[in-house]
Homo-oligomer: A and B are copies of this chain.
Amino acid sequence: MYRTHNNGQLRAVDINKEVTLAGWVQKTRDKGFMVWVDLRDRYGITQLIFDEERTSKEVIEKATKLGREFVIQVKGTVIERVSKNPNMPTGDIEILVSELNILNESLTPPFTIEDETDGGEDLRMKYRYLDIRRKPVRENLIFRSKVAMAVRNYLSKEGFIEVETPYLIKSTPEGARDFVVPSRMNAGQFYALPQSPQTFKQLLMVGGLDKYFQIVKCFRDEDLRADRQPEFTQIDCEMAFVEQEDILNAFEGLTKHLLKEINGIVPSNSGSKFPRMTYDEAMEKYGNDKPDIRFGMEFGELNAVAQNKDFGIFNQAELVVGIAVPGGNAFTRKEIDNLIDWLKRPQIDALGMVYVRCNEDGTYKSSVDKFYDQEDFAKWAEITGAKTGDLICVLSGAKNKARTQLSALRMHLAEQLGLRKNDEFAPLWVIDFPLLEWDEETNRYHAMHHPFTSPKPGQLELLATNPGEVKANAYDLVLNGNEIGGGSIRIHDKKTQALMFDYLGFTPEEAKAQFGFLMDAFQYGAPPHGGIAFGLDRLVAILGGQETIRDFIAFPKNNSGRDVMIDAPAPIDMKQLDELHLKVEIKK
């Protein structure tokens, strides 16, 4: 037994107890006749005191030689602290040490083990095991563990069964790139790591398991954008004998439970039900299929009131669209110019911005006063909901592009104005997603969700004539401008699934080779079913009031997919390659 108590445990009631503690030296203060040591572990910090009147000379001497991050064990008596520290749970007491045992020494760590460290991202990742000693990182990992347990307990209570699906599966060219695993026993053949357990969970429904969930790692070999990981964790769920309504209710229940259990709150915007919005409405009102609805700034479409005047740019635009920025009339000319520069950057690529100041005296002052009068602006204000003191920002151009740009501006401004509050949670269902989306690169339609998503009843025929118009029973759960979950009702008959593969450009042979097992399964009494998957990394970060998923992953990879701590990936032995029937061939 290395310790009788941990370092967050002792209180005034424990005074006079003989205790044994162990942990890391956070810091030492040496006053000559007295030495104090802050002893740290996962549970907290306890102050140790070595005092020349009460501690043996030998022990004091040892104490003076302790360095930061030394691992020690001490025996001593809990005594009352002379100057109490009300900011520490153990601040009423200290340990008068009688025995000191150095369990392990430490080199000086490459960065400080403090809440605010002097270590940069790269250094902290290389020494992640030291980074984890810092309270903010440790607390994030503990938080993640709590969220996962809360998910499991809730879903289990609701009758969901956690089933482990295989990691060594088959590669399919649809969707993102697979990571593959060469098979030694089956020469020239490969497993793939799952991008999601999609087909397996559907097979579990065919198998009658009824309510399935799994917290599971998934893998995508994508070029990594900021804050994406090649391996990530999903809360994967599926239900049989359900309609969309059943699924929305079930996972609204889960989300409410998490917000209550983890954050202790009931979402500000929801009475008994989370609000719902169609995909079309979300695009129209927010230019975004995952709108942050914690603040207003809804889009106002101004075509009817801004076109057919003398302003050519608006006249030629497919869409003229604006937002009212609350209190934005206070922006200086310079600040507005900065906004325009921000919009013109290649990432946003806007040509410019028209703005209207809503003055305190009820008049308007705009960058297009030449073309519009006060009455025009009053209409703009009405449509965008602008009040005196606001600023109306207007963009124009091709519909989708203008919406995307204005959405980016809206989020940028909300951030600037402090409207995205970490402790406010506004969930939203976005429903009725299109079944297909046009892919410019391959010049064909792709499944927006995935090829197993069912078109809305009665819309199957539309596929032949207006594929872009077909809507699906597909839905996303959006929280504070982030998609935290997405799912759909699935196809459950072979004929429709075959038709879908056909529309997506699979030959019957390709469909059979890749998904034959699923279509076979549909012939043996597949029930109606549907499901949803949550991104656990993102969900945990948002519930934790943060944005970076990397901060909630114990050992994340960097943007090149490398683990810089263990230095992986790495070359392997020739012998291993031989056994796998492979040769490395790097083309220039």
Q: Which residues of A contact B (CB under 8 A)?
A: 1-3, 22-24, 40-43, 69-71, 103-107, 109, 127-133, 138, 141-142, 144-145, 148-149, 152-153, 156, 161-171, 173, 177-193, 199-200, 203-204, 206-211, 217, 219, 221, 223, 230-231, 233, 241-243, 245-246, 492-493, 516-517, 520-528, 553-555, 557, 560-563, 565-573, 576, 578-587
Contacts of A189 in B (CB 8 A): 569-571
Name 28 A/B residue pairs within 8 A (Cβ), A-sorted: A42-B208, A43-B210, A105-B525, A127-B521, A129-B203, A133-B208, A141-B161, A141-B163, A149-B153, A149-B156, A164-B217, A166-B557, A168-B230, A170-B566, A170-B569, A171-B572, A177-B579, A178-B576, A180-B572, A183-B569, A185-B223, A191-B569, A192-B568, A203-B555, A217-B217, A516-B567, A517-B566, A582-B583
The answer to whether B170 touches A527 (Cβ under 8 A) is no
| Smallest CB separation, A11 vs chain B (Å) | 18
The answer to whether B561 touches A186 (Cβ under 8 A) is yes
Greatest chain B CB density within 10 A among A554, A555, A561 is at A554
The answer to whether A582 touches B584 (Cβ under 8 A) is yes
Picked from B1, B191, B576, the residue with its CB within 8 Å of the CB of A171 is B576
Contacts of A145 in B (CB 8 A): 156, 161-163
The answer to whether B168 touches A568 (Cβ under 8 A) is yes
| Smallest CB separation, A21 vs chain B (Å) | 10
Contacts of A187 in B (CB 8 A): 584, 586
Q: Give the docked Cα–Cα distance between A200 and B528 (Å).
A: 42
The answer to whether B583 touches A132 (Cβ under 8 A) is no
The answer to whether B149 touches A570 (Cβ under 8 A) is no
Picked from B106, B164, B190, the residue with its CB within 8 Å of the CB of A571 is B190
Picked from B164, B243, B587, the residue with its CB within 8 Å of the CB of A553 is B164
The residue on B at minimum CB distance from A216 is B217
| Smallest CB separation, A575 vs chain B (Å) | 8
The residue on B at minimum CB distance from A205 is B129
Q: Give the docked Cα–Cα distance between A193 and B182 (Å).
A: 12
Known contacts being A71-B525, A554-B204, is A209 close to B138, with CB within 8 Å?
A: yes
Contacts of A525 in B (CB 8 A): 24, 69-71, 104-106
| Smallest CB separation, A544 vs chain B (Å) | 15
The answer to whether A207 touches B129 (Cβ under 8 A) is yes
Number of copies: 2
The answer to whether A71 touches B526 (Cβ under 8 A) is yes
Picked from B71, B133, B493, B553, the residue with its CB within 8 Å of the CB of A207 is B133
The residue on B at minimum CB distance from A25 is B525
Contacts of A3 in B (CB 8 A): 241
The answer to whether B526 touches A104 (Cβ under 8 A) is yes
The answer to whether A182 touches B180 (Cβ under 8 A) is yes
Greatest chain B CB density within 10 A among A152, A173, A177, A211 is at A152
Known contacts being A524-B107, A567-B517, A569-B183, is A148 close to B132, with CB within 8 Å?
A: no
| Smallest CB separation, A582 vs chain B (Å) | 5
The answer to whether A557 touches B168 (Cβ under 8 A) is yes
The residue on B at minimum CB distance from A582 is B582
The answer to whether B169 touches A231 (Cβ under 8 A) is no
Q: Give the docked Cα–Cα distance between A517 and B568 (Å).
A: 11
Q: Give the docked Cα–Cα distance between A148 and B163 (Å).
A: 10
Picked from B162, B217, B562, the residue with its CB within 8 Å of the CB of A186 is B562
Q: Give the docked Cα–Cα distance between A354 and B180 (Å).
A: 56
Q: Give the docked Cα–Cα distance between A528 and B572 (Å).
A: 32
The answer to whether A571 touches B188 (Cβ under 8 A) is yes
The answer to whether A563 touches B207 (Cβ under 8 A) is no
Contacts of A241 in B (CB 8 A): 2-3, 22-23, 41
The answer to whether A103 touches B162 (Cβ under 8 A) is no
The answer to whether B190 touches A129 (Cβ under 8 A) is no
Contacts of A165 in B (CB 8 A): 554-555
- Given contacts A177-B579, A183-B561, could you give 15 more A-B pairs where the C-beta distance is less than 8 Å? A40-B208, A104-B522, A127-B521, A153-B153, A166-B554, A168-B179, A168-B561, A169-B568, A173-B573, A190-B571, A191-B569, A517-B566, A517-B567, A581-B585, A583-B585
